Amino acid sequence: MKRNDFLLAVFITFVWGVNFSVIKLGLIDLDPFILSGMRFLLCALPLVFFIKRPNVHIKYLVSYGLLFGVGLWGIVSLGIYFGISAGMASLVLQMSAFLTVILGAVILNETIDLSKKIAFAIALFGLVLIISVTDGSVTTLGLILVLIAAVSLSLTNIIVKKAQTKNLFSFMVWSSIFSPIPLFVLAYLTNGEIVFTNFFENLTNTAIFSILFQVYPTTLLGYWIWNTLIHKYPVSSVAPLSLLIPIFGLAGSYFIFDEKIGLIKIVASFLIIFALAINTFGKRFLEKIYKEV
């Protein structure tokens, strides 16, 4: 990978990691579902009028929009709102890598090799350590919600694979159409009409920054650059850099919200990131050992 492309990829993982703290900033003033709804409303508009719809069945756009907008980021925002720290949310969400493997086996009949089974076991141990954190940065409800979001993220990976679209930027824009209304309905059902009548009153500079950061550098620019790099280079060269996301997520939460990074969090982070590395490189490593033997 060329140096400039490598630095660009690292920058995107930085943006995605810090985004968890930016979401928390937005939640200071806005309802979590309103915050996510505005994110995807601006992802769709006005671009949907200028970008050609991807050549995929409508069911993929609808299902992706609901799962990515509502099931993933709406629920992540809700999880952070209910007490899990931005840093821990960025780490727990990485469980989606292992859930994707399981769903791939169930839905797509893909095989799970030994390295992925080992990686999943290590990641589960890291998750158990996170559950044991008692410094107030992890709540049971917040943790459960982010795990639900991880399942949604895993399902979106399956949808993209089944949709077989190469124009992922167009796919992202058009699928975003189906996210805002369900999110706004959830906001109304959970907190009533006050979230709409007080919207402009609550729309502080911090909230505006949070929304715009999630829309442009995080979603539209981030996914466009990332998918461009995946098309330009082998997936094995790009995907491992996603291991940096929870590191930047924890760092962002530390610097912005002064989140305490104790020994348990360090060990849990190491275990999950190590498990992600095994999940990514393990098969090739074992094959190399077998050839040498």
Query: What does the pLDDT look like over 129-179, one tens digit per residue?
Result: 888 887 788 898 999 999 999 999 888 888 888 888 778 889 999 999 999
pTM: 0.86
Number of domains composing the chain: 1
Cβ 159 vs Cβ 67: under 8 Å: yes
Structure tokens at 203: 């729309």
State the DSSP code for 95.
Answer: G
What count of residues does the chain have?
293
Q: What is the pLDDT of residue 29?
A: 94
- Cα-only R_g, the chain: 19
Q: What is the pLDDT of residue 124?
A: 86
Cβ 43 vs Cβ 178: under 8 Å: no
Residues of the chain below pLDDT 70: 231, 234-240, 283-293
Q: What is the pLDDT of residue 58?
A: 94
Rounded distance between C-alpha atoms, residue 194 and residue 220, angstroms = 30
Distances (CA, A) of 80 to 32, 85, 86, 120: 9, 6, 6, 24
Q: What is the pLDDT of residue 235?
A: 59
Rounded distance between C-alpha atoms, residue 126 and residue 68, angstroms = 25
Q: What is the pLDDT of residue 273?
A: 85
Structural domain span for residue 69: 3-292
* Long-range contacts from 251-255, C-beta under 8 angstroms, 24+ separation: 251/17, 251/87, 252/17, 252/18, 252/20, 252/21, 252/86, 252/87, 252/90, 253/20, 253/21, 253/24, 253/85, 253/86, 253/87, 253/88, 253/90, 254/87
Q: What is the pLDDT of residue 279?
A: 75
Token pair 């409303």 is at which residue? Answer: 41
Token pair 């997520």 is at which residue? Answer: 249
Kindly give the residue spans of alpha helices, DSSP state H, lying in 82-233: 86-92, 96-107, 114-131, 140-163, 168-175, 180-191, 194-197, 199-202, 205-213, 222-232
